[in-house]
Amino acid sequence: MKLSDFVVPGAILPVLDANSKETAIRAMVESLKKSGSIRAEDEESIVSAILKREELGSTGIGNGVAVPHTKHPSVDELIATVALSVDGVDFASLDGEVVHILFLLVSPPDRPGDHLRGLENISRHLRNQNFCSFLRQAKTSQQVVELLQEADNNQLD
Amino acid sequence: MTQEPVCQIVTINLRSGLHLRPISQIAELARRFDGDVWIRKDDIKVDAKSVLDLMTLNAQFGMNVTLEATGDGAAQVVEELSELFARNFDIDSQ
C-alpha cells in the first residue's frame, strides 16, 4: 500500500485555515466531500464520528502531527486527506504542541487491516525528516501530491 | 555492565490490531520507565515510548510481538505491558 493509493489528491488542503480542532476536522471532511470521495449526506456523520474518537484521546501524536480518523460504513475502502497549517492547530496533542501536518483517515469498519496499513504508511514516512520538512514547505496540492509520490518511491532518503 | 533484556511474547487480541488507542497506552506506560523499552515484530524493533515508531509496526489481530526492556524496573514494565495486552487495553470489543 502506498500513500498515493489512499490519499485523495483533490481533497488535499495545502493551506489549512482553521483555528480549532473541530474547524480543522470539518474542513478536511468537507474537502473529501467536495472531491466526491464521500457523500454529502454522510459528511456530518463522519465529522461526528471523528470528533467522538478525539474524545477518547487526542490523535495529536506529537511532533506537530495529527491523525484524526474514524471507521465509517459509507466507505468501502480507505480514503484520506492531508492538510497543512502554517500557524498550527491546537489539537490537545500528547506533547502539548500545535499540529502543522494533519492526515485524516476514513476506513471501512470491516477491514481494520486497511486502517493499520494506512497508519503504518503515514508513520513510516513521517519518521523521515526530509518528508516532514518538505511537506511543511508545500504550498499547493500538486506539490503535496508529488511529494507523496516521491515518498512512495523512496526518493526522499 | 550490560544488563540482560527482559523479554515477553504477547499476542494481539484486539480485532482492530494495534491502532492508535492501544499504541498511546503502550507509549504512556513505557515512558514512565527510565530504561529502554522495545517492541519487536518479525525483524522490526521499535521504541515503545514513541507513538510514531509504534505505528510503523502494522501489528494486526492474532499476531505475536515481543516486549523487551532493559534497565531498572525492566521486569515490572514488561509485566505491566503484558497485562495491558491481556486486558485488550480495556477497549471494548471492536
Burial of A51 (0-12, 13-18, 19+ CB in 10 A): middle
Q: What is the CATH number of the domain that holds A137?
A: 3.40.930.10
Instruction: Please give the pLDDT value at position B94.
Output: 44
Instruction: Please give the pLDDT value at position B86.
Output: 95
Quote the domain boundaries for residue A75.
3-152
Confidence of residue B2 (pLDDT cuts 50, 70, 90): low
Q: What is the CATH number of the domain that holds B65?
A: 3.30.1340.10
Number of domains in chain A: 1
pLDDT in tens, A58-110: 999 999 999 999 999 999 999 999 999 999 999 999 889 999 999 999 999 99
Question: Cα(B82)–Cα(B94) distance, rounded to whole angstroms?
Answer: 20
Burial of A98 (0-12, 13-18, 19+ CB in 10 A): middle
Single pTM value for the model: 0.93
Does the interface ipTM go beyond 0.90? no
Please say whether the beta carbons of A1 and A115 come within 8 A: no
CB contact under 8 A, A62 and B51: yes
Mean pLDDT along residues B8-21: 95
Confidence of residue A157 (pLDDT cuts 50, 70, 90): confident
- Facing residue for B58 by CB, picked from A56, A57, A120: A120
Number of domains in chain B: 1
Annotation says A72 is catalytic: no
Burial of A103 (0-12, 13-18, 19+ CB in 10 A): buried
B51: contact with A, CB 8 A cutoff: yes
Confidence of residue B1 (pLDDT cuts 50, 70, 90): low
- C-alpha pair distances (Å), A35 with each of A28, A79, A86, A115: 11, 11, 23, 21
pLDDT in tens, B42-89: 999 999 999 999 999 999 999 999 999 999 999 999 999 999 999 999
Contacts with B52 from chain A: Cβ below 8 Å: 61-63, 65, 123, 126-127
Quote the domain boundaries for residue B23.
6-90
Strands A79-89 and A99-107: antiparallel
A88 found inside a domain: yes
Contacts with A122 from chain B: Cβ below 8 Å: 55
Task: Please give the interface size between A and B, counted as residue pairs whose CB atoms are below 8 Å apart.
Answer: 56
A31 found inside a domain: yes
Dmax of chain A from CA atoms? 42
B1 found inside a domain: no
B29 found inside a domain: yes
Beta bridge partners of B10: B65
Confidence of residue B93 (pLDDT cuts 50, 70, 90): low
A157 found inside a domain: no
A32 found inside a domain: yes
A24 found inside a domain: yes
A13 found inside a domain: yes
Mean pLDDT along residues A30-57: 97
